[in-house]
Chain A
Amino acid sequence: KNEVEQSPQNLTAQEGEFITINCSYSVGISALHWLQQHPGGGIVSLFMLSSGKKKHGRLIATINIQEKHSSLHITASHPRDSAVYICAVRPSGSRLTFGEGTQLTVNP
């Protein structure tokens, strides 16, 4: 079983819809990362959070350390949000552990 599980694996939405991507992990951590990877592009960090909620534009990330669960929400989704969203945790030392990613496609 992977230490980091994301759901869903694939998600298709219509422009304007509210989107939620979930991440569950099985190890103790104090911080979790959400990353975005555009087709053919590099990976950029969206959020790093250790408790509560963070917001950046239309993106909101929440984490519940006790339940070992995080969610990434996108409000008023747009086709340019189409990308792979990756959850990652760092249980110990310097090794980030990554989920498999969620492929999001937003249709106009």
Chain B
Amino acid sequence: NAGVTQTPKFRVLKTGQSMTLLCAQDMNHEYMYWYRQDPGMGLRLIHYSVGEGTTAKGEVPDGYNVSRLKKQNFLLGLESAAPSQTSVYFCASSYAGGEGTEAFFGQGTRLTVV
């Protein structure tokens, strides 16, 4: 099983450019999440989705947009990249959002904005 797949794995952007990160899961999970990981900080939630067609803001949503048009895919968009968005981005999915639900993570996308 592929599990959770993120593309691309690496990307360098110039300030002001736009891009979309794709997350795909083949486990029929309802919940999907986008996190960013920065040095000295825990993973922080950007946006999440509790089902196809739904999205919600997390802790650090500014500068990002998301879409969940299909259950298996969760897209993270940066409309105008800024150096502060240099980070490692992780997608995750889970069957449900309850406290006892295991989350499955992708391999991460290392984004550098210059």
Q: Which of B50, B59, B102 contacts A94 (CB 8 A)?
A: B50
Known: A42-B90, A86-B43. A31 touches B100 (CB 8 A): yes
Question: In terms of DSSP, what is the predominant structure of the interface of chain B?
Answer: loop
User: Which A residues touch B42, using CB under 8 A?
Assistant: 2, 4, 86, 88, 97-101
Interface size for A (C-beta < 8 A) is: 26
Tell me how many residue pairs across A and B have CB atoms closer than 8 Å.
62
Closest approach, in angstroms, between the C-beta of A96 and any C-beta of chain B?
6
Contacts of B99 in A (CB 8 A): 29-31, 50, 90
Chain B positions within 8 Å of A, measured between CB atoms, are: 31, 33, 40-45, 48, 50, 58-59, 90, 92, 94, 97-108
A residues with CB within 8 A of B: 2, 4, 29-31, 33, 35, 41-45, 48, 50, 86, 88, 90, 93-101
